[in-house]
Structure 1
Amino acid sequence: MARYNTGPFDSDTAQDLLELYAELTQDERLDNLRAVFLGGPRHPDGPFEPVDNTEVVAGAALVARALPGGARIDEIPQMGFDEEVAAAAVTAPGDDLIQLALDAIRAVAADDAWFTTRLGPSDSARSRQTVAVIAGVLADHRATSG
């Protein structure tokens, strides 16, 4: 059974993404993130599989962490995967990737079914707050960069 909680890296799916990114180069991570935000494929050499919104949340959090103000992501209560997140970190995401991340995380924010089916009602509000913080970091950067 899959494990979920309210932080951006608090799921088995997000953990799989972090493990994959730890094995990729920076350029491969950025390319894969682009694919995740556009809908797939999940793995660079794998078959096309639909992207899960938990991957979008984790990927957008990785992009947001690389930006000024990205430390807000680390303030979100989560289960604590500091080493895994550090190993999967991205650096210098371009404006196009930041915009893709923002568009993708806004689509997650609009998906009420995702919040209500993956978590119980009490955690749904905290999960929405997680998505809002990530979207806020990305939007703030886009507003100040152009």
Structure 2
Amino acid sequence: MSGKGAPELTVKNCADLRVAVIAAQWHEKVMDGLVDGALRALADLGIDEPTLLRVPGAFELPVVAKVLAGRGYDAVVALGVVVRGGTPHFEYVCQGVTQGLTQVAVDTGVPVGFGVLTVDDEQQALDRAGLDGSTEDKGHEAVTAAVSTAATLRSVSEPWR
């Protein structure tokens, strides 16, 4: 089972962080669950005014993440779904999105939460979407990871006292 052994992250003093969530539009039911989980995590962390943007699909996530990272956001969260089909399209999209989002984070120093589900079928996506009956909430997890990383980076950039 995916998610087994995941850490329980505790994030403090992050209510003032600027966080953006970018969500693809494909697979509406799954995406609604991921977005709801992400927004719930932000509310749990005291981040009251996140930016939420929608893009056509997962492949468009990296370019928007790069622009937002350059506009002063402390963390960016990318949410999407790529379901395996009968052509190599799945591998190309998954590789491009993963490498693109990684490159954004490394190049800009802005944490990018990876909430892109890469699944074999729609049921696997539903199981991870944070919906009623889901076993995981990857939208919530992606926000928590990105904000936790942003808080860590802030702690090392401030003068030690």
- The bucket for the TM-score relative to the shorter chain is 0.3 to 0.5
The answer to which structure has the higher strand fraction is 2
The answer to which structure has the higher helix fraction is 1
State the TM-score, normalizing by the size of structure 1.
0.34
Structure label with greater radius of gyration: 2
State the TM-score, normalizing by the size of structure 2.
0.32
